[in-house]
Amino acid sequence: MSDDKENTEQEKVNKNNFLKKLCSFAFIFLFISIICCGCTKNGKFETLEGAYGKAAVPLNENEIFLATVHDGKKVLPAQIYNIKEKKFKSLNSFINQERSLENAINLDDGRILIFGGTEEDSEKSAEIYNIKTNKFEKISDTNFPHNSVGVNLVKLKDGRVFIISADRAEIFNPKTNKFDIAGKETKYYQKSVFDKKGEKIKIRTTNNIYNRKVAIALLKDGRVLILGANYDLNPNNAEIYNPKTNKFENIGSQNFPMFYRDAVTLEDGRVLVTGGTKQYYPESINPEVKKQGAIWSADKEIQDNNAEIFDPNSNKFIAIPPMNIVRQDHKSVLLSNGKVLIVHGTNDLFLKSKDTKTAELFDPKTNKFKLISSSDIGWYNFNAFSLNDNTILFTSFYRWEIYKY
């Protein structure tokens, strides 16, 4: 009887030991899973060797179209870059106008709009590439000059393209292949201010905020949010363009008077606005400048890691906790999981060009930013495209890279 009791007790001890070991293994497995899962969510950057050219346009998740390719001596035919093979393939079709730092965007009918650039005679020229015929067709010029440094563009709900840069905004209509001025044409006026030596200088402004570089975001209802202005007396102003009425509406002020910001529409319809820079007159400048409200100065810049949320239902901006890194001329991309990837940019654009290699994720549920794995090199003045549910393509004049998550 006593032997049976001892055996029963030993079985209980063995069972308890087994359960403890099982719990320990389960805890270790769970811990490793959490780490691995976290790494997967944070994603990874990968440079696409041999790929370059900012005005690239994805044809699908593997093939990227590039209208203008330079080999350092001459312009080459249009190319398609294969991401899997990591090499270009010539299309044996030449663009009509030699360009550099041009702009390009997919149209709903499969054609590609190409316009602007920094080469002679290219800033107002435009053309269409037809994939089916493999030919470039010259179309009517844009109303205003555009080069990619100050251009922002977005495809509207009806398939037209909203373009804003330098001082003006216009709409490309793919049905007519023509560019129409957005809203009423802005009128320039000059306002005299004084530099720090007391001498008069002039600042060019417009009656609306169409100076470079503005941030834009396509709202869920099809309107376009326009934020900030470069070299303007009122850079914290915000307005909305309504494509249906072809009118602009001033909606008040942002919390941070910046330009070179970025904006992205979240899944719930709100807009995340981040970073930027602000040029201002030093404290020693003639007081007359401050009376006139001018903040512009070529002498100094202030970059910031600020962040705010725009609510289109109330037309209000709400400040939120800042990013981890100071950024301007960066990119914000909405991911398929609802979070936002904020990447690259610079924190000293005109002085020392300190490009940031860092990236961070914004969580709309908590309104907070988290630093993630960095790229191997920093850059600014680039484009971003979603290739599929887990891959983002970044293109600049000098290099391309992808982010997988």
262/306 Cα distance (integer angstroms): 11
> pLDDT per residue over 19-45, tens digit each?
555 555 444 444 334 333 333 357 899
User: Taking 90 as the threshold, does the pLDDT of residue 349 lie above it?
Assistant: no
The predicted pLDDT at position 274 comes to 95
pTM of the predicted model, to two decimals?
0.79
376/356 Cα distance (integer angstroms): 10
Q: What is the DSSP string of 244-270?
A: TTTEEEEEEE-SS--BS-EEEE-TTS-
> pLDDT per residue over 245-277, tens digit each?
999 888 888 888 777 889 999 999 999 999 987
> Cα-flanking dihedrals φ and ψ of residue 37, to 5°?
-65, -40
Band (170; pLDDT cuts 50, 70, 90): very high
Nearest to 326 by CA among 281, 363, 380, 366: 380
Please tell me whether residue 115 adopts helix, strand or coil conformation.
strand
Please tell me whether residue 385 adopts helix, strand or coil conformation.
strand
> Cα-flanking dihedrals φ and ψ of residue 269, to 5°?
95, -15
Asked which of 115-129, 151-165, 218-232 is least confident by mean pLDDT, the reply is 218-232
The predicted pLDDT at position 35 comes to 36
The predicted pLDDT at position 293 comes to 44
Band (191; pLDDT cuts 50, 70, 90): very low
The predicted pLDDT at position 334 comes to 97
Token representation of residue 90 = 């010539």
The predicted pLDDT at position 313 comes to 95
Band (4; pLDDT cuts 50, 70, 90): low
CA angle, 269 then 45 then 324, to 5°:
60
* Residue 212 CB-density burial (10 A; 0-12 exposed, 13-18 middle, 19+ buried): buried
Cβ atoms of 356 and 347 closer than 8 Å: yes
Band (98; pLDDT cuts 50, 70, 90): confident
Q: Mean pLDDT: which of 142-151, 184-193, 290-299, 314-323 is highest?
A: 314-323
The predicted pLDDT at position 37 comes to 39
Does the N-terminal peptide bond of residue 132 adopt cis geometry, omega within 30 degrees of 0? no
